[in-house]
Structure 1
């Protein structure tokens, strides 16, 4: 198997396989936290950390414990435990050091544990048979891709409060319309770029 260059993996994680707009994973926080840029940035920072650490820890867990012991079937549950532990760490640090951000994120911060985008990074790393550096690169790239989309969505939603929008479209319908347009832009632009 020919190994992919780290740059190609990074671009793939950020744009080509963007978890929010291409694969539609992690949409709960995408819709719930993007009402303002500050909350979106805080959530994105937490997700980048959890994705990068989950990719790293899960690589070692799978490669050096589960595979040699022929217990690959425990991969999914092991990955969920790793992600849950990392989210608890992030929640503790944010609550202790940035209480305003902790309050603004509300229930969405502990929901990173069940964010399928984080689990998707780990599972795609295993399926792609990435080595440690590739796994870490893909985890960080997926986090950056998540951040770019979250900040774009939050910026658009903040600016749209200045526009007269019919009441039947405000809120969740408006968020889905914006998400649809962003997704179409990503698909139409980034899928034509060969990597």
Structure 2
């Protein structure tokens, strides 16, 4: 039940984009079409889960073991950047079709603060490795969900006549704000699940 609670909470209640405001750049920049949003979501899910596993192991067996916790942020940035580059190289050699599909999104993930944010959050929350993986994957699904829904809304907005003063960035920001408010409706779900299943 604990993993189900982490899963639901990460996707709906504490959505990485709409509640914690991490990963805003790709959220606004890659959300013009649903197809590109799905590609970006898949790439983020893969890299976010992999990066969380590697950074968790680095934190536990290197930084904590040698008393180098103060180097956490810079170490995680370097690990994530190196990991994205390695994934890109391996993918280009082993699966050119998948590389063509995700290749344009992989460099964007290096600068996606959601990846670094999740890597640090799992350490702050003192999750185990399995909990960290569940949290990372759930967060990636939440990111993909927010991105895809927002892209769908933007595609619909492109087909309607928007007042001149609200066109462009203004209507995009208003739509993002309304979507964030919609996700706030899930704010009590995790508390209700905790009460239901008797979890602290």
Per-residue deviation, 1:101 = 5.5
Question: Which deviates further from its counterpart, 84-93 or 126-135?
Answer: 84-93
Q: Does the 8 Å contact 1:44/1:147 carry over to 2?
A: yes
Per-residue deviation, 1:186 = 0.7
Normalised TM-score (structure 1): 0.88
Per-residue deviation, 1:12 = 1.7
Per-residue deviation, 1:102 = 4.0
Q: 1:166 and 1:91 mapped to 2: Cα distance?
A: 43
Would you identify which runs of 4 or more consecutive aligned residues in structure 1 move more than 6 Å? none
Q: Does the 8 Å contact 1:31/1:172 carry over to 2?
A: no
For structure 1, the 5+ residue unaligned runs are none
For structure 2, the 5+ residue unaligned runs are 194-200
Could you tell me which of 173, 186, 190 is aligned with 1:190?
A: 186
Q: Does the 8 Å contact 1:9/1:137 carry over to 2?
A: yes
Normalised TM-score (structure 2): 0.86
**After superposition, where does 1:1-195 map in structure 2 within 5 Å?**
5-92=2-89, 93=91, 96-97=96-97, 98-99=99-100, 102=103, 105=105, 109-187=106-184, 189-193=185-189, 194=191, 195=193
Q: 1:142 and 1:23 mapped to 2: Cα distance?
A: 11
Per-residue deviation, 1:89 = 3.6
Length, aligned pairs only = 187
- Going from structure 1 to structure 2, the CA distance change for 1:91 and 1:154 (only over 3 Å counts) comes to farther
Q: Does the 8 Å contact 1:13/1:141 carry over to 2?
A: yes
- Going from structure 1 to structure 2, the CA distance change for 1:172 and 1:129 (only over 3 Å counts) comes to same
Question: Which deviates further from its counterpart, 140-149 or 12-21?
Answer: 12-21
Q: Does the 8 Å contact 2:39/2:101 carry over to 1?
A: no
Q: 1:100 and 1:8 mapped to 2: Cα distance?
A: 32
Q: Does the 8 Å contact 2:77/2:116 carry over to 1?
A: yes
Aligned Cα RMSD in Å? 1.9
